[in-house]
Amino acid sequence: MKFLRVFLFPFSILYDAVTSIRNYFFDTGIFKQTSFQIPVIVIGNLSVGGTGKTPQIEYLIRLLKDDFKTAVLSRGYKRKTKGFVLLHKNHAAEDVGDEPLQYFKKFNTIAIAVDANRVEGITKLIERKNAEIILLDDAFQHRKVKGSFYILLTKYDDLFVDDFLLPTGNLRESKKGAARADVILVTKCPANLSIIAQHAIKQKLNKFNKEVFFTTISYADKIVGAHEILLEELKNFEVLLITGIANPDPLTNYLKGLGVKFQHLKYSDHHNFSQNEIKDIKQRFAAMSSSKILLTTEKDYVRLAHKIDDLNCLPIETSFLNDSGKEFNQLINSHLTNNF
């Protein structure tokens, strides 16, 4: 696979040329960008794959929802509907996408919508829901909207500065795209990442002259769903783990560290489970011992809970290292103060 990617290097050069010209046209005004009178915070990345956008969106929702009419707009990846859809309690993941549905189920007091046309989506959220702040999910490359603040995510063990463009690497555009960011978050770090290691990463990112923060994934102290079991007690059960996310390694490593023994059924990111796959999962679970737990991720839970009984998930949150969350929060609040 690695050899094949090297062989595709000429296509990466072509891809770089196309994306660079596109960005140049937006930067110079040849392609139109639409600005809005309310703050539009864009969260995204330069790389394909999971960089932790979902927990970061949720972090911002918690930060802002009590003080502002906050709305989230996503394209609704792999949804079956078209156009603008404002989420309600009867929607399924197939209608709106798994991530937007997860936001809605956890924060149903704010407006969550999907629309591939982000300009129209923002406009409708302002008109229909009087939104005061828009969180634009996975839209770093969506240049038709001129965001007021850009948060660029890059994964600790897969920094964009060490990567190359598709199809040789995993970058959606050139590393130069980081210049659009207002802040860079290094995500999915080990909780005990040393100051020396953080400094080394900052040295790599220094040329972009952005403020850099380090975050990690924090797991809840209990699983939720069909059962509520303390995490420390999970090792007393036989666990069938179902994942359909880009990188389940942090979760599996965490469970191993707790001494949890599990069978792992691994599917691709945003996987649409077929009836045969659902049947297989149920049969595998039924064949296990009496002391058993069926466990999945939050994202997969919203797609599977109505199809599989006895399903549970392990909630996660983003946490900032070095108590730097206060500084990050001040940065966001300062931006909002200057844009109201």
Which ranges of the chain does DSSP label H, i.e. alpha helix? 2-7, 9-27, 53-64, 93-96, 98-106, 118-129, 195-205, 249-257, 275-286, 298-304, 325-338
- Structural domain boundaries in the chain: 2-68+132-218+319-338, 221-314
Query: Sorting pLDDT into bands at 50, 70 and 90, what band is 3?
Result: low
Instruction: For the domain made up of 2-68+132-218+319-338, give the CATH fold.
Output: Rossmann fold (3.40.50)
Q: What is the mean pLDDT of residues 286-297?
A: 94
Please report the pLDDT score of residue 100 as a whole number.
Answer: 96
- 274-303: buried (b, 16+ CB within 10 Å) or exposed (e) per residue? eeebeeebeeebeeeeeebbbbbbbbbbbb
Q: What is the mean pLDDT of residues 155-164?
A: 95
The class (CATH top level) of 221-314 is alpha beta
Q: Is residue 7 predicted with pLDDT exceeding 80?
A: no
Please report the pLDDT score of residue 46 as a whole number.
Answer: 97
> Cα(54)–Cα(116) distance, rounded to whole angstroms?
18
- Write down the pTM of the prediction: 0.94
Residue range 174-229, pLDDT digits in tens? 999 999 999 999 999 999 999 999 999 999 999 999 999 999 999 999 999 999 99
